[in-house]
Amino acid sequence: MCGIVGYIGSKKATPFLLEGLTCLEYRGYDSAGIATIEDNKIEVKKDKGRVKNLYDLDGIDSLVGTVGIAHTRWATHGKPSKDNSHPHLDNSGTFSVVHNGIIENHNELRNFLISKGYSFASQTDTEVIPNLIHYYFNNGENIGDNKFLSAVKQAVSDLKGSYAIVVMSPLFKDELIVARKDSPLVIGTSNGENFIASDIPALLSHSKNFYLLDDNEFAVVCKDKIKFYDINLTEHRKGIKNIEWDATETGKNGFEDYMLKEIFEQPNSIRETIGSRLKLGENCYFDDLEISEEFLHNINQIYIVACGTAMHAGLIGKTILENLCKIPTTVEIASEFRYRNPLIDEKTLCIYISQSGETADTIAALKLAKSKGATTIAISNVISSSITREADYSIYTHAGPEIAVASTKAYTSQVVLIAILAIHFAEILNSYEQEKLEALKADILDLPSKIENILADTSKIKNFADKVYTEKDMFFLGRGIDYAVALEGSLKLKEISYIHSEAYAAGELKHGPIALIENNVTVIGIITEPDLVDKTCSNLQEVITRGAKTLIVTNMQLENNCFDFVIDIPEINHLLSPILSVVPLQLLSYYISKNKGLDVDKPRNLAKSVTVE
Ligand code: G6P
């Protein structure tokens, strides 16, 4: 949540800052602002609303400064407004700060600063930071030989919570200071200019060489050098990372929206996820996953922990892992897991799934399991993201940058990756018939062409969307693995179309929710579990009797088909069917959202990367 950027070089900072903010807008988009140094003073332009509004702000074209910082906000403390927008200044206008994260003790710090004569112009937690820096600049001790850095260090030492900050001052106009704790921040470096951002894709068109700031680390960024410091301000050297992603991967490539592009990218993203890990006739192979055979044989339980769509991928993962490896597996929501003292010991394997690798609750849940002695694996799409730096082992989905807030290709790649991981474990454990594993591998290799098949004709789904987009409520039903897909389909619909929807295990409907079924309400059924098809059909019959209209996504030949609409998907092993059955549901929510004229890629109130609790 919240995107931050910074620039220091010889060119005008504003064009880069605006472009960087546009790339980061998926992180938050209720207000935006930039600040540059102009004639030895800080000039701030900010307002509520989208980044594009900044282009029209009075005086934005007159900013010529070559040092600047900028921010796009997802409000936590204080509603979206001009005053609450970043960058924030201290009372004297000497220090300007952009911040991503939450300062949990901001009230206490605010009272302290008020007692010292400071006043506040916003309701944000962030505004304490520039004022604290000012306070320590004038009243603190001098740690090391950089007075600016020393003041920033003393200020952040007082902060509880999470932060990634960039600080700028006209007194030190040749440097920007950055610091982070539990919020992401990267520095892209080039000849004679350096760039700062919350994520790598925002900088790809300017640099392929990055420094990934660690927790409790500081950097002093000048146009032609960068110095790194630990928490005691002892300088250290830091390795540079070369990132191979192509900047064009982050464009829309002719699609109207990122979400549609990402839905259509799924055949390729899955090919990338499979990579060289899975081949017919050979054991699956993971680089960098040197879990000992002894540990695998002794695992007492597996926890899969994640949030949102990633948690739904975990639900499929549980079924696959339990089937193939015969190890009890529990899926937990990270924000619950982290506070409930789960039963974990050194025989427990905890798998954390996070597209961004920056979700605060998932990272905290990982730290908890590590502290209790568990072995941890992170599944992420973002190389060197925070979660991968914390986990014992990291495996990557390699789905390419996902920009739309509603996750699509990252989800299918997460499921594919867990399936390959489960096969890998089953091969080591000898827990599943070899022949069946080979058949499953062949099915995984067929997934891309089967998705291509679904995407080749989307007209049926589009027609259905045209019929139902004005509705207020919808229901998603499924049993077994189809229930997990129902949850994901329902989440997609809520996220981008703002239609209230509920997902139920089909057999549970009659225990209450069936009271909500009335004439003409839409019920979407997913039917791919061969052993449960009749049962799910009976449950759907119950809603048809009560007047519901039904859309079915299935790979079965349904007898006595009494449904209003049926979307056929290709046959596949039922453990992998979610990777196919979710695609029509992704498209359905997309087309409904388009019909309603909504912003598909940036739905209201959401953010792609939730770096706060
Ligand atoms: C946010 C996004 C969801 C995403 C969830 C977990 O809520 O809006 O789309 O599934 O975070 O994100 P992660 O990056 O950890 O997978």
Q: Quick check: 326 pLDDT over 90?
A: yes
Residue 27 tokens, joined: 């992180």
Output the CA 283–ligand 1 centroid distance in Å.
32
Element containing residue 527 per DSSP (H, E)? strand 522-527
Q: In the structure, what pLDDT confidence band is assigned to residue 27 with cuts at 50, 70 and 90? A: confident
Q: Please report the beta strands in 112-242, taking only residues with DSSP state E, as ranges in sequence order.
A: 161-168, 176-181, 186-190, 193-197, 209-212, 217-221, 226-229, 235-236, 241-242
pLDDT of residue 352: 98
Instruction: Of 219-228, 247-256, 311-320, give the lowest mean pLDDT range.
Output: 247-256
R_g (Cα) of the chain, nearest Å: 25
Instruction: Of 149-153, 219-223, 270-274, give the lowest mean pLDDT range.
Output: 270-274
Residue corresponding to tokens 């077994």: 480
Ordered by where they begin, the domains of the chain are: 3-249 (3.60.20.10), 251-454 (3.40.50.10490), 459-595 (3.40.50.10490)
pLDDT of residue 7: 98
CA 414 to ligand 1: nearest atom: 16
- pLDDT tens-place string over residues 271-322: 999 998 999 999 999 987 989 999 999 999 999 999 999 999 999 999 999 9
Ligand 1: residue of 183, 198, 307 to mutate (most ligand atoms within 8 A of CB) is 307
Q: In the structure, what pLDDT confidence band is assigned to residue 515 with cuts at 50, 70 and 90? A: confident
How many C-beta atoms lie closer than 10 Å to residue 571's C-beta?
16
Dist. CA 91–CA 336, nearest whole Å: 40
510 in Cβ contact with 557 (< 8 Å): no
Ligand 1: residue of 351, 379, 385, 407 to mutate (most ligand atoms within 8 A of CB) is 407
Question: pTM for this structure?
Answer: 0.81
- pLDDT tens-place string over residues 426-481: 999 999 999 999 999 999 999 999 999 999 999 999 999 999 999 999 999 999 99
Residue 18 tokens, joined: 């605006």
438 versus 204: which is more confidently predicted?
Answer: 438
Q: Which residues are catalytic?
A: 2, 608
To the nearest whole number, what is the mean pLDDT of the chain? 93
Q: Quick check: 556 pLDDT over 80?
A: yes
pLDDT of residue 249: 67
Q: Quick check: 335 pLDDT over 70?
A: yes
* C-alpha dist (Å) from residue 319 to 285, 322, 584: 21, 5, 22
Q: Quick check: 560 pLDDT over 70?
A: no
pLDDT of residue 244: 72
- pLDDT tens-place string over residues 55-82: 989 889 999 999 999 999 988 888 899 9
Q: In the structure, what pLDDT confidence band is assigned to residue 412 with cuts at 50, 70 and 90? A: very high
- 359 in contact with ligand 1, CB cutoff 6 A: yes
Average pLDDT of span 136-155? 96
